[in-house]
Chain A
């Protein structure tokens, strides 16, 4: 199974949140500053728990913070895009 490439908007969100530093974010979610650097540079994909903690810090839903790159398409939201790429029915279609 091809590995999904997950990107994020953390750098932008930090800037919008009063220019929060990487160190401040790291302290809020309980990781090292280097882990935040690695996540921002897409060199590390956080666990679901940490991803939710980061999203909660910015007061955003998870899919507004983390995106999955879907090949030729533009980066999209985790749910809908990855469902489309895999040819699965979207969550809406299941309702």
Chain B
């Protein structure tokens, strides 16, 4: 497994954990009525900002641990920072998938707002779109690494 493939796998696992945790947290707050009232959007935004900070921190921490573990496992035989043309090509495909999924979800969120859904529902849809877009891009990369291109 190349360093980039390993990073992709790490990102997928972290994204699933963060997405799951975030969804549970937002659902719990919604059920408790936190997203009702005039400051609902501010409460939502503060919660999402915290989730983003925690998610980024968690992903960085896991990536560092995985990189150290991989370095020990391979006894430093492979350069962890080496990115070659195949990695760049696969990254390009992943980015395209991320853009398509994120854009489609963003449009869906806007459409939901346009037809009268609540602001929180629209914002959650857009947030989910970007999160799933990143996940879909990473999954595409993993498939291309495994199956070839």
Q: Assess A32 versus B85: contact at CB under 8 Å? Given A41-B148, A44-B148, A44-B149.
A: no
- Binding stretch for chain A, among B35-43, B58-66, B76-84: B76-84
- Does A4 have its Cβ within 8 Å of any Cβ on chain B? no
- Binding stretch for chain A, among B1-9, B99-107, B129-137: B1-9
Closest to B145 in A: A34
Contact with B along A17-60 (1 / 0, CB 8 A): 00000010000001111110010011110110110000000000
B86 x A30 contact (CB < 8 A): no
For A34, the chain B residues whose CB sits under 8 A away are 1-2, 5, 86, 145
- C-alpha gap A41/B148 in the complex (Å): 9
A43 x B77 contact (CB < 8 A): no
Contact with A along B1-38 (1 / 0, CB 8 A): 11111000000000000000000000000000000000
- C-alpha gap A83/B140 in the complex (Å): 34
For B4, the chain A residues whose CB sits under 8 A away are 32
For A47, the chain B residues whose CB sits under 8 A away are 85
A33 x B86 contact (CB < 8 A): no
* Contact for A43 among B1, B2, B85, B147, CB less than 8 A: B147
- C-alpha gap A94/B87 in the complex (Å): 39
For A41, the chain B residues whose CB sits under 8 A away are 148
B86 x A44 contact (CB < 8 A): yes
B86 x A35 contact (CB < 8 A): yes
Give the shortest distance, in Å, between A55 (CB) and chain B (any CB): 16
- C-alpha gap A32/B3 in the complex (Å): 9
A43 x B148 contact (CB < 8 A): yes
| B residues in contact (CB < 8 Å) with A | 1-5, 77-78, 82, 84-87, 145, 147-149
| A residues in contact (CB < 8 Å) with B | 23, 30-35, 38, 41-44, 46-47, 49-50
A-B contact pairs, 13 of them (CB 8 A): A31-B86, A32-B3, A32-B4, A32-B86, A33-B78, A34-B1, A34-B2, A34-B86, A34-B145, A35-B86, A38-B86, A41-B148, A43-B148
- Given contacts A32-B82, A33-B2, 8 further A-B pairs with CB under 8 A are A23-B77, A31-B82, A34-B2, A34-B86, A35-B2, A35-B85, A35-B87, A41-B148
